A = this chain, B = another copy of it.
Amino acid sequence: MIEQQKLITKNWFEELRNQTIDIFQDIENSNSKSLKKNKFSYKKWKRKSSGVQDHGGGTMGIMYGDIFEKVGVNVSTVHGKFSSKFKQQIPGTDKSGKFWASGISVVAHMNSPFIPSFHFNTRYIVTENSWFGGGMDMTPSFKNLKNKNTLHQNLKKMCDAHSKGYYNKFSKECDKYFYLPHRKETRGDGGIFFDRLNSKKFEKDFEFVKDTGKSFIDIVPQIIIQNIKKKWTKNDKIKQKIKRGRYAEFNLLYDRGTRFGLETDGNIDAILMSMPPEAIWK
């Protein structure tokens, strides 16, 4: 049974990757003024480990465009054994320490300072336990209540269809997670964030994870369209790059995924794909 769950989650993450890329390329090329078509390029990587057997790997997809200044869409499916150091932090690793993990992660840094950055991730982890994690959040360079409402109203509606408590719980977890204590600032407008999701009903949890992904590729185009016609000045762009400095600070100082990846010899390019294309520190 768990083997089938691994297969269908992995397949879904890959299907969602394909859908995301189709939608993003379509937005890019129907709005870009340049003649050449911008496309994702791909790079496969294999997880290196001291053992001999296959430890899985992933595919990075990245596009540099006129609308999407830099957008990465990664899928990976890896397996192996946690070191004794990491075992302590991960549930269900008391006996063998074996794990399997599959997921998709997306980070979009937009060219327009008036379109927020978007981040999305969902994953399925199997040890002696199994659970889903993920979420999405949005980081604007300029406050915009309409965008924030679009994000949160859509997320609330999606969450409510699954469980009345989800939106409240997961949006609070998002605010708590995406916080820069040294700046006393939130990273952005929040969103939803969940981890260790296991209601003991795999199908129910998986449906929620799928809907989180579907919401992401529904919300992002809405917010892009709301702002795509706005002109910006050189100074707006500088402000965006300063905000991106905060994004870099969060990822390197606090993001658990980044730290986890770096400390477990993950693929550097895939881990740091989330970094902004250009950042400024004044």
What is the minimal beta-carbon distance from A239 to any residue of chain B, in angstroms?
Answer: 14
User: For residue A16, which residues in chain B have a CB less than 8 angstroms away from its CB?
Assistant: none
In the assembled complex, A278 has its CB within 8 A of some CB on chain B: yes
> In whole angstroms, how far apart are the Cα atoms of A163 and B18 in the complex?
63
> Contact size class for A?
20 to 34
What is the minimal beta-carbon distance from A260 to any residue of chain B, in angstroms?
Answer: 12
Given known pairs A253-B262, A262-B253, the reply for A275 and B245 (CB within 8 Å) is yes
User: For residue A262, which residues in chain B have a CB less than 8 angstroms away from its CB?
Assistant: 181-182, 253
User: For residue A252, which residues in chain B have a CB less than 8 angstroms away from its CB?
Assistant: 248-249, 252-253
> In whole angstroms, how far apart are the Cα atoms of A182 and B252 in the complex?
12
In the assembled complex, A1 has its CB within 8 A of some CB on chain B: no
With A181-B262, A249-B252, A278-B279 known, 8 other A-B pairs at CB within 8 A are A182-B262, A182-B271, A183-B268, A248-B279, A277-B281, A278-B278, A278-B280, A279-B281
Q: Report, nearest first, the 7 A-B pairs whose CB atoms are least far apart.
A: A275-B281, A252-B252, A182-B262, A252-B253, A279-B279, A278-B280, A182-B268
